[in-house]
Amino acid sequence: MIITFQEFQKHEADRAKWLGQAIAQYRRSEEYKTAQEADKYDQQLNTTICNFIKMVYDVTGVPMPDFTSSNHRLASNFFHRFTVQRNSYLLGNGVSFASRKEELDDKGETIFIDTTKEAVGKSFDSTVMDAGLLAIQQKVSYTFYNDGDYAVFSMMEYMPIKDAESGKMRAGARFYSLDWNRMPITVELFEEDGFSVYRTAEKKYGLGALELVQEKQAYKQIYEVTKDAGERLVREENYPAFPVIELYGNKKKTSALTGMKPNIDAYDMIKSGFANDETDVAQIYWLISNASGMQDDDVEKFKDRLMLQHVAVVDNHNAEITAHSQEVPYSSREAALNRIESDLYRDFGAVDVTKISGGQSKTATEINAAFVPLDEEADEFEKQVTIYIKQILALIGIEDEPVYKRNKITNEKEVTEMVMLAADKLDDRTLLEKLPFVTVDEVSGIMARKLKEDTDAFGTDDNDEDDDNESSEE
């Protein structure tokens, strides 16, 4: 569901009322419900199995909950594990930038500085990771940038307002409440020329009771401090573009749950059914002989008593009750679970690390082959992240290219040997960046310390040579 900027502009006079209606409509949309469901699956509260109730039918065919049998609800953790793996694979080592420069420190020694990384702030890497995981799980996430500070919003707390012609986000509303029925609701409205705040009236609840509590103000407030007047506001500024940036988890702009849910549900149902059968021994049944034509009602009473009390009596002294048992179909269910699990890994492009770490050590070629599906998915995700990061850089006024080092399992010894064989053909920076145990952010520091060691060693050699010359002259 899309709330258009053109519609937003038409309701300036009754903005609070319109916001309440728009947000209520947005929270009823299918996209919002999908985001809620994805959040449940991320918490391992898989909705299909957690809401499952086993039903039975009475003699008249009316369904009713079966309270006599076990109802284990075993939820798998595939969704959280797969989405975290894809996100961490690309962003787990942080993001660096291509532009680095050499500077002299206070001691006159050369150091290498990633100026862009310093400009985006210390919380940048954690912000990108949070935004990336939400984008993969829910389809899209939103990041509000304001003067070095970041706030990441999920689909469940932010409603975008987009231009109907260009599709560009022109405004947006963040909404939240501790209890939507009994606590105040706050709405932060972000526009290109500033932000304002709405909140429900005192002792009134629901989106229909919103009212303006903070007039629109610019995003950046510039103050100066003087001895006479103290702190005073000098001017207000906004950004050259809308300061809320969206990040999509894939080019299809869909939640990862969309394709995974049927397989996850099938896995949970089979696994839970297996556990229930083991608990109830549901494959045991009884045959009754010579029961004097027992009526349907009597059969139901007999069955209920047998299930609940494990004892049943037939009035006719000639009647016989014979128990029969059947083995729980373990092999077929285990095969089905293994097949579904394999399909989940393959379809999502995830890597089963147990197949890499188990048994004898794997070669670099074998490991790389296992990571090909994840690499392909990460390539697509990387494009979306790069677009997102460049929009943040544009707000700061920087032009640069992000650099990623994927968080891959490797045969470090073999890869290191390969890199060192090509050492005479590579410069120091490239050599360090290719080593599997060195992150991109560590490279500059290592080079600076190495340069200092070489400089110190060179200076020591010169001093030793001068001392030798002086001794010869004597």
pLDDT digits (tens, 9 = 90+) for 2-12: 889 999 999 99
Q: Could you report the per-residue pLDDT of 127-139, keeping only the tens digit for each?
A: 999 999 999 999 9
Most confident among 37-46, 369-378, 461-470 (mean pLDDT)? 37-46
User: Is the CB of residue 255 less than 8 Å from the CB of residue 39?
Assistant: no
Which residue has tokens 């890994």?
A: 345
DSSP string, 246-260: EEESSTT---THHHH
Q: Are 42 and 83 in contact (CB under 8 A)?
A: yes
Residues in the chain: 474
Q: What is the DSSP letter of 29?
A: S
Residue range 445-470: average pLDDT? 64
Half-sphere exposure of 286 (CA within 13 A, CB side): 19
**Plot region of 260 (φ>0 → left; ψ -120 to 50 → alpha; else → beta):** alpha
Q: Are 262 and 41 in contact (CB under 8 A)?
A: no
Per-residue buried b or exposed e for 191-205, using 16+ beta carbons within 10 Å of the residue's own CB: beeebbebbbeeeeb
Buried b / exposed e across 230-263, counting CB within 10 Å, b at 16+?
A: eeeeeeeebbeebbbbbbbbbeeebbbbeebbeb
How many other CB atoms sit within 10 Å of the CB of residue 153?
24
Query: How many helices (H) and strands (E) in the chain?
Result: 16, 19
φ/ψ of residue 72, rounded to 5 = -65, 135
Determine contact, residues 72/52, Cβ cutoff 8 Å: no
- pLDDT for the residue 44: 95
Segment 269-298 shows an average pLDDT of 70
Half-sphere exposure of 352 (CA within 13 A, CB side): 12
- Enumerate the β-bridge partners of residue 171: 161, 191
**Tokens 């935004």 belong to which residue?**
131
CA distance 444 to 463: 29
Tell how far CA 91 is from the center of its chain. 11
Query: What's the whole-number mean pLDDT along residues 228-243?
Result: 83
Three-state DSSP at 162 gives strand
Does the pTM surpass 0.85? The reply is: no
At 212 the three-state DSSP class reads strand
Helices marked H in 281-371: 296-309, 330-348, 353-357, 364-370
pLDDT for 62 equals 80
φ, ψ dihedrals at 88, nearest 5°: -70, -30
DSSP secondary structure string for all residues of 175-188: EE-S-TTTS--EEE
CA 266 to chain centre: 23
pLDDT tens profile 151-162? 999 999 999 999
Evaluate whether 102 touches 110 at the Cβ level (below 8 Å): yes
Higher pLDDT, 432 or 108: 432
Residue 336 near residue 270, CB atoms below 8 Å: yes
CA distance 186 to 252: 32
Q: Is residue 360 predicted with pLDDT exceeding 70?
A: no
* 26-29-31 Cα angle (round to 5): 105
Residue 468 in this model has a pLDDT that exceeds 80: no
pLDDT tens by residue, 178-210? 988 889 999 999 999 999 999 998 888 889 899
**What does the pLDDT read at residue 406?**
87
Whether residue 173 is predicted with pLDDT greater than 70 in this model: the reply is yes
CA–CA distance, 375 with 371 (Å, rounded to integer): 6
Which residues share a beta bridge with 420?
none
Q: Cβ–Cβ contacts within 10 Å for residue 158, how many? A: 24
Say how far apart CA 313 and CA 423 lie, in whole Å: 87
Check residue 56 and give its pLDDT.
Answer: 73
Q: CA–CA separation, 154 vs 257, rounded Å? A: 15
Backbone φ and ψ for 32, nearest 5 degrees, come out as: -65, -40
- Left, alpha or beta for 190 (phi > 0: left; psi -120 to 50: alpha)? beta
**Distance between CA atoms of residues 355 and 350, nearest Å:** 12
Contact 247, 135 (CB under 8 A): yes
Backbone angles phi, psi at 201, to 5 degrees: -65, 155
